[in-house]
Amino acid sequence: GGVGKTTLAILVFNERRVRDHFDFLIWICVTDGFDEKKLMKRLAWSVAENEMKTDDLGCLQRILTNGIIHHTRRVLLVLDDVQTDACREDCHGWKNFLAPLKYARSGSMVLVTTRYHRVAERVGTLKHMFLEGFPLRL
């Protein structure tokens, strides 16, 4: 912790070229643990607030899929501080959470920050970047 993962993600998120490229930018902090239903609900509220009538998992997935497909949005989703519980049960919850995002417009991205090498390996599809703290010099 404390090497600048979140700070770097904030800089990317706020970069003008990034904001111009994506139609929809969403930031979700996952520090409290990976609860796919809770995270999907937060994401659904971001995408389709007016359609939220229930928190049934299947309904949330449909809202997300329809909201993203219908508007053909290019989405940047930042999941900050993902913990190891995202990888439990062979990443089943992670895969369910991402399922609706597969229908997003080409060029959409999910950026994950985590302290755990295992999480980066299991959830990532691109090469992950390791940040190391700067040595202290007195």
Domain layout of the chain by residue ranges: 5-123
Sign of CA dihedral 20, 22, 24, 27: negative
CA 44 distance to own-chain centroid: 12
Q: Please state, in angstroms and rounded to a whole number, the distance separating the CA atoms of residues 34 and 111.
A: 15
- DSSP run (H or E) holding 130: none
pTM > 0.75: yes or no: yes
Helix (H) or strand (E) holding 75: strand 75-82
Q: What CATH fold (topology level) applies to the domain 5-123? A: Barnase; Chain D (3.30.370)
Residue 52 above 60 pLDDT? no
Note the pLDDT of residue 75: 85
Tell how far CA 115 is from the center of its chain. Answer: 15
Q: What are phi and psi of 29, to 5 degrees?
A: -85, 130
**Confidence class for position 58, pLDDT limits 50, 70, 90:** low
pLDDT of 129? 72
pLDDT over 90 for what percent of the chain? 17
> Residues 37, 93, 65, 129: is their CA dihedral positive or negative?
positive
Q: What is the pLDDT of residues 62-77, one digit of tens each?
A: 666 666 655 567 889 9
**Axis-axis angle for helices 57-70, 36-48 (nearest 10):** 40
